[in-house]
Every structure is written in structure tokens, then in C-alpha cells.
Amino acid sequence: MAQIREIKKRMVAVRTIQRITKTMQMIATAKFTASLSRAKASRPYMERIRELVAEVAARAGDESHPLCLAPAKPAGKELILVIASDRGLCGAYNGHVLRTSLIALKGVKSRNAQSVVETIGKKATAFFKFQKVPVAQKHQFGDRPTFEMVEPLAERLMSEYLAGEYDACRIVYMKFVSNSKQVPETMQLLPMRVPAAAKSGIRTSEALYEFSPNASELLNDLLPRAVKISLFQAILDAIVSENVMRMIAMKAATDNASGIAKSLHRSYNRARQGRITTELTEIISGAAALE
């Protein structure tokens, strides 16, 4: 009897967990759809800005911009911005990102430089606290960040880089490739790597360009925009990857709970049938003893 009660309690608990994971899966699916549409909407703008930067830089001759150049006097510091999630239950999302961040920190150490860590997301902050790595600043943008929310951070990073406080600024995040593929990546934000014209799909010709305004003014306007939108796109990609991985994890949890519920139901039926058989055997034995 005690065994049957125990199995019934476990069945109730498993059904409750199954309802919770199913609800979380539906929420993650809705968030994934919304975040994917936002990420897709901003990607063409980012790609076109980078193409314009590459085209202007390729035609500008000796013109260059400080955001594309290494500091004249190395500061011996590199900034690592780690983008993780605020919540768990998203599979291996945080694990992949945080392991990649440790590799990035080892790379900074191998260059005989000091690393300065900033985080986006509570999981990254808690991880570096456990690793006893000091976090310079913590940022929170929520599930629906806007460009206006991210722009001050990008402007601060650019101003500190131009002031010579850092030799480089890198972002560690989960890049969204497709619904079935998300890749942890370390992206160099500053100094910005201008893509070659041939690689970026820009048509090359022998025509000479006359810039109005001049190439330097164009780069002064385009490069900060490219840095801002690159940071914004990285945050959007991270949110999309988090939601799709949470959706997959909750679906797997729901399926596992369903399997456990079926197994417990079979165990319950066996235990109940065993109890009935035992009671019938006792009744028949008692009746036979009275004859």
C-alpha cells in the first residue's frame, strides 16, 4: 500500500512538472518568434553599413580612422564584454558562452595584457563571481532591447578606446545562424576590422570616386554607426539563441516527463494488480482454511 501511494505522489509531481515545462516551451516559442523578427529586421541595415564602410575605406586611399587603428601607445588592457542570459533552463547556452569567455581571457593573458570584464546577463555575473574574476560593470537590457538602450554603451566603449584606455574590445556571445545552429563567438568590436571589398560582395571597378563630403567625414559618420549596430546585432543574436535553446530544452524536458509518467503509470498498474492478487490469494486461503 505504501508503495502505491509513493508511486501516485510521483505521478502527480511528474504531471505538474510536465505542465510547467510545456508552458515554458510555449512562452519560449513566442519569445523566439518575436526576437527572431527583430534580429532579421536589423541585420540588412548592419550588413549594408559595413559594406559602405568597406567601400569608402577601399576608395579613400590613405584615409583612415582611429576606430580602425590600434592605439599608438598600448595600454596593456583589453575589454571583454560577455553576453549571457538572466535566467537558466536554456540548455547549454550559458555553458558554451562562458567557456568561450574563459578562452578569450586566456588569449588576453597570452598577449601579456590585462583583461577587463563587463557582463550582460545575471548568469555571466554569477559565473565570474564564482571564478573570482572581478567584473568592472554589469549591464541589463532585458528581453526586448532597443537601439536607444544599447547606444550609450557603444558610445562609452568607443570613447574609452579612443582615449587609449584599452587596446581592444571584444564581445563574447552566442551567434544565431539558424534554428538548428547557434555558435559561441568572440567578435572583435574595436579596433573595427573593415571587411575587404572583394569579401563583402562589393563590385570592384577602376572608377575613381569623388567624395562629398570627403572620405574622412564619411568614415567619421559611418564607423561609429557600424560599431553601434554591430553591438546591437550581437545582443539581438544572443537573445534569439537563448530563446531557441530554451524552447528546445523545455521540449526535451516535456518529452522526458511524458516518458517518466508512462513508466510510472505502468509501475502503478503492476503494483495495484499485485495488491489485488495478494488480497484474492488471502481470501481464497482463508476460505479454504474454514472448510
Q: For residues 188 and 168, what is the distance between their CA atoms, to the nearest angstrom?
A: 8
- Give a three-class secondary structure readout of the chain: CHHHHHHHHHHHHHHHHHHHHHHHHHHHHHHHHHHHHHHHHHHHHHHHHHHHHHHHHHHCCCCCCHHHCCCCCCCCEEEEEEECCCCCCCCCHHHHHHHHHHHHHHHHHHCCCEEEEEEECHHHHHHHHHCCCCEEEEECCCCCCCHHHHHHHHHHHHHHHHCCCCCEEEEEEEEEEECCEEEEEEEEEECCCCCCCCCCCCCCCCCCCCCCCCHHHHHHHHHHHHHHHHHHHHHHHHHHHHHHHHHHHHHHHHHHHHHHHHHHHHHHHHHHHHHHHHHHHHHHHHHHHHC
Residue 247's pLDDT is what? Answer: 94
Residue 199's pLDDT is what? Answer: 42
Residue 74's pLDDT is what? Answer: 86
Residue 204's pLDDT is what? Answer: 46
pLDDT tens digits in sequence order for the chain, 291 residues long: 568 888 888 899 999 999 999 999 999 999 999 999 999 998 888 888 888 887 777 766 555 778 888 887 888 899 999 999 999 889 899 999 999 999 999 999 998 999 999 999 999 999 999 999 999 999 999 889 999 999 999 999 999 999 989 999 999 999 999 888 999 999 999 988 766 543 444 444 444 556 666 767 777 888 899 999 999 999 999 999 999 999 999 999 999 999 999 998 888 888 888 877 877 787 777 777 776
Residue 199 CB partners (closer than 8 Å, separation 6+): none
Residue 209's pLDDT is what? Answer: 57
Residue 116's pLDDT is what? Answer: 94
Residue 55's pLDDT is what? Answer: 76
| CA angle, residues 126, 127, 129, in degrees to nearest 5 | 65
Q: For residues 245 and 180, what is the distance between their CA atoms, to the nearest angstrom?
A: 9
Q: Which residue has the cell 528581453?
A: 143
Residue 210's pLDDT is what? Answer: 64
Structural domains of the chain, ranges and CATH numbers in brackets: 25-248 (3.40.1380.10)
pTM of the model: 0.84
Residue 200's pLDDT is what? Answer: 43
How many of the other CB atoms lie within 10 Å of CB of 50? 20
Q: For residues 289 and 283, what is the distance between their CA atoms, to the nearest angstrom?
A: 10
- Residue pair 277/45 in contact by the 8 Å Cβ criterion: no
Residue 61's pLDDT is what? Answer: 58
